[in-house]
Amino acid sequence: MFKALAHPMRIFMLEKLRDKSWCVCELAAEAGIPKSAASKHLSQLKDAGLVEDEKFGTRVEYTLTAPCVLDLAACAEGTVLSSRKKQLGL
Amino acid sequence: MFKALAHPMRIFMLEKLRDKSWCVCELAAEAGIPKSAASKHLSQLKDAGLVEDEKFGTRVEYTLTAPCVLDLAACAEGTVLSSRKKQLGL
DNA sequence: GACAAAGTTTCCCAATTTTGAAACATTAGT
DNA sequence: ACTAATGTTTCAAAATTGGGAAACTTTGTC
């Protein structure tokens, strides 16, 4: 699961999914990457249990499912920020 | 930070550090890897703000600092387990 | 000073991951 | 049936990451 989170693009996608569901082509356009890459990233997030997909015709919508991921991200942010301070000026 | 967590050996080290501080050579011995590798992994954990190091003579002791990492691990475990169930039998 | 112990850094190679293009489904609409 | 739109998969190249051995620091001891 941490491997799934260990890529800026996938973090970006999770942040997009925080507010609403997105289909692959929308996320690809937002991120400025080809559909194939977006599909593969989303597939990894799905394997990690962080998102779910649902088909609507030709579209596949991805939704954020893991409820604790946002808390997790907040924890990560706080940790990183406080360690930055220490590493610089204390 | 998630990159720092995205390696089994570093998770192993964090679990060791849950109970007490360890020096590099102790962790290397526990993990069965050379000191150089252990040092590099610990360096990444330090850069991510997850551990701190303190020198005692020639020894360098590493200590777990990020208080939320353990909650984070619990969250991760719960998420992974519930998604496994879904992916198998629902 | 010489030596040993503990860590770090460097160098190079192996392994993994990421990327983009193209081929391949699948579904919808005409 | 044909075409367009959306996703997924495959493949090879590119990029990143990890691993081990040796060189190098630094500190403590004799």
Task: Give residue limits of the domains in chain B.
Answer: 4-88
Overall fold of domain B4-88: Arc Repressor Mutant, subunit A (1.10.10)
Chain-centre distance for alpha carbon B39: 12
Of B1, B50, B76, the CB nearest to A1: B76
Q: Which residues, 6+ apart, have CB-to-CB distance to B72 below 8 Å?
A: A72, A75, A76
* Single-letter residue type at A7: H
Higher-pLDDT residue of B82, B11: B11
| H-helix segments, B1-90 | 2-5, 8-19, 24-31, 35-47, 69-88
Strand C nucleotides where any atom sits below 7 Å of a protein CB: 4-10, 17-23, 26-29
Q: Is the CB of B64 under 7 A from strand D?
A: no
Q: Is B22:B16 a contact under the CB 8 Å cutoff? A: yes
The answer to whether residue B35 scores a pLDDT higher than 70 is yes
Q: What is the per-residue pLDDT across A30-87, written as a single tens digit (0 to 9) for each?
A: 999 999 999 999 999 999 999 999 999 999 999 998 767 777 777 777 777 777 777 6
pLDDT of residue B85: 75
For the segment B26-48, the average pLDDT, to the nearest whole number, is 97
Helix (H, G, I), strand (E, B) or coil at B59: strand
Asked if pLDDT for residue B67 goes beyond 70, the answer is no
Helix axes A35-47, A8-19, angle to 10 degrees: 80
Distance A57 CA to C28 C1' (A): 7
> For the ranges A35-49, A56-70, B11-25, B67-81, which has the lowest average pLDDT?
B67-81
- Which nucleotide's C1' atom has the smallest distance to the CA of A8? C18
- The lowest-confidence range among A75-79, B6-10, B21-25 is A75-79
CA distance B4 to chain A (A): 8
What amino acid is encoded at B70 in this protein? L
Q: What is the mean pLDDT of residues B53-79?
A: 84
